[in-house]
Chain A
Amino acid sequence: MTYTAHFKVWRGDADGGDLNDYQVEVNEGEVVLDIIHRLQATQASDLAVRWNCKAGKCGSCSAEINGRPSLLCMTRMSVFTADETVTVTPMRAFPVIRDLVTDVSFNYAKAREVPAFVPPAGLKPGEYRMQQQDVERSQEFRKCIECFLCQDTCHVVRDHEENKIAFSGPRFLMRIAELDMHPLDAAAEEGLDRKVSAQDDHGLGYCNITKCCTEVCPEHIKITDNALIPLKERAVDRKYDPLVWLGNKILRRP
């Protein structure tokens, strides 16, 4: 079925902008990114949009569709009725560059603040051996395509710009959880306690587990249940649980 849809697309830059109205053709099987491309081809040749794979794997075309953080390439037009206005804006948690393109450098700065995997002593690359059940927990987090929709929707930074200094956001707290659960990560042996660091240096306590990161994740990673809450519990082990502290003293565990 082909029909003409009413689109509102935000056009502008850091100095200002507005929602512009477009009437645009929609064909069966298309996604929102197809329509944005048709707008570029037919009505707005200077419309800026970041995209790459068009398959939900590169994480480039993150935006907000009818107010919901989404990938443009993974949002089917069939979820809207023919008479429904579709509003497309850039991600609203980050500074805008132009039109639908935002400056996501906040995320790269936070990524650099997470200490990398610490190789185990005495093992060279190629000699790492892990049991599947030990590593599969953190493999879920490796599905992340770094679209930053979870960072965009998280109210801690979306609604409070000042928290961007203290809070790394769900994507990078998940990265810390991934490393802390990694069976061969030797950070503890090097004196780095990722559990305490998550709380003290990356703002884990700001997360109030309202699960918006999980809701918007296009890879369906259970960010809250499998990364953030387990990381909070690990921080509790270190900082708030005298029973665990006593057990570690008795059993002489580090």
Chain B
Amino acid sequence: MATGTTSSTESADSSPARRGVHTQGRAAIPNRHLRTDRWWVPPLVTALGLGAFVVYSTWRAFANGDYYAAPYVSPFYSPCLASNCTDMNGGADWHLFGSWWGISPALIVLIFPLGFRLTCYYYRKAYYRGFWASPPACAVAEPHATYTGETRFPLILQNIHRYFFYFAIPVAGILTYDVVLSFRDADGNWGHAGLGTLVMLVNITLIWAYTFSCHSCRHIIGGRLKHFSKHPVRFRLWGWVGRLNRHHMLLAWVSLISVALADFYVYLVASGAFDDPRFF
């Protein structure tokens, strides 16, 4: 099973009536849990929120259109690495993949932010609880017969989170470059700002905050040290990242929403459904 568990129908030697909290010797209570609060609300909201993003991002990633409205580029399509990319007037449309790539160029680059979020320590908690009920909530018995967690393939691959963090840095750097370019107008003249500029600025700020609040970042910056006193600069940086890290869940959600909203804004402008209001 993908989450290191086997379904209750796969194990014949441990019926639900005799395993887990019903194991012989534990207090004989027939209920699988006795919680009286609405414990199912958080996993349900998580599943709906992540599900909505997956549906939206899948549609947009495969759409291969309406992702550039000069000077704005959708974060789903930047950097754009195939020859079938729209010309972006000085933007990050680097045709590294040549013309053989015939499908949406978003699929090339999205693997990195997708991997970063998929292996993120917060999102792991969210989808283990929301989608796989492992566990659905604290002290609510999970429905699976066996559990090996992240000790085996494929879930042992969660340990590569830091590599996706390494890749997340240049990707966020390129999105920052896109924001800088959004201070030019459609003809490439500097001194422009529209509502799209503001949307992209907020989005990149949240993406950087989410990236730097990452647990792997916290470890690499200073967490792995044994003696902070010998590394005062890294200790100070570790403290800053730690303060961000306390809000990792919040930043995970708001940056997820902001990246979808930034893409949707570009889609509206590129498709002609909305005219970008210009501030100056």
User: Does A pair with B?
Assistant: yes
Which A residues are within 8 Å of any B CB, using their own CB?
10, 12, 14, 16-19, 64, 66-69, 84-85, 87, 89-90, 92-96, 102, 131, 133-134, 137, 152-153, 155-156, 158-163, 181, 183, 203, 205-212, 215-216, 225, 229-230, 232-237, 239-241
Task: Determine if A206 and B147 form an interchain contact, defined as CB atoms under 8 angstroms apart.
Answer: yes
Task: Determine if A206 and B149 form an interchain contact, defined as CB atoms under 8 angstroms apart.
Answer: yes
Smallest distance from the beta carbon of B240 to chain A beta carbons, Å?
14
Among A67, A87, A152, A181, find the residue whose CB has the most chain B CB atoms closer than 10 A.
A67
B148 on the A face (CB < 8 A): yes
Nearest A residue (CB) for B161: A236
Task: Determine if B229 and A69 form an interchain contact, defined as CB atoms under 8 angstroms apart.
Answer: no
Distance of A102 Cα from B25 Cα, bound (Å): 10
Distance of A107 Cα from B114 Cα, bound (Å): 39
Given A87-B34, A211-B125, A230-B149 contact (CB < 8 Å): no
Given A64-B34, A159-B20, A233-B135 contact (CB < 8 Å): no
Nearest A residue (CB) for B226: A183
- Of the stretches B86-94, B137-145, B266-274, the one at the interface is B137-145
Distance of A64 Cα from B229 Cα, bound (Å): 42
Residue of B37, B125, B246 touching A209 (CB-CB under 8 A) = B125
Task: Determine if A216 and B29 form an interchain contact, defined as CB atoms under 8 angstroms apart.
Answer: no
Nearest A residue (CB) for B36: A66
Nearest A residue (CB) for B133: A155
Given A68-B138, A163-B147, A230-B159 contact (CB < 8 Å): no
- Of the stretches B59-67, B216-224, B250-258, the one at the interface is B216-224
Distance of A85 Cα from B36 Cα, bound (Å): 10
Which B residues are within 8 Å of any A CB, using their own CB?
3-4, 19-21, 23, 25-29, 33-37, 121, 124-125, 128-129, 134-135, 138-142, 144, 146-151, 155-156, 159-162, 215-216, 218-219, 223-224, 226-229, 235, 245-246
- Please list 29 pairs of residues, one from A and one from B, whose beta carbons are closer than 8 Å in the complex, sorted by A's number: A12-B27, A18-B28, A64-B34, A68-B37, A92-B21, A92-B27, A93-B21, A93-B26, A95-B26, A96-B26, A131-B227, A155-B142, A158-B20, A159-B141, A160-B19, A160-B146, A206-B150, A208-B4, A208-B149, A209-B124, A210-B134, A216-B138, A229-B121, A230-B215, A230-B218, A230-B223, A234-B219, A236-B162, A240-B159
Nearest B residue (CB) for A236: B159
Distance of A95 Cα from B28 Cα, bound (Å): 10
Nearest A residue (CB) for B248: A225
Smallest distance from the beta carbon of A9 to chain B beta carbons, Å?
11
Residue of A14, A90, A234 touching B224 (CB-CB under 8 A) = A234
Distance of A66 Cα from B31 Cα, bound (Å): 12
Which residues in A have their C-beta under 8 angstroms from that of B135?
A: 155, 159, 210, 212
Task: Determine if B25 and A158 form an interchain contact, defined as CB atoms under 8 angstroms apart.
Answer: no
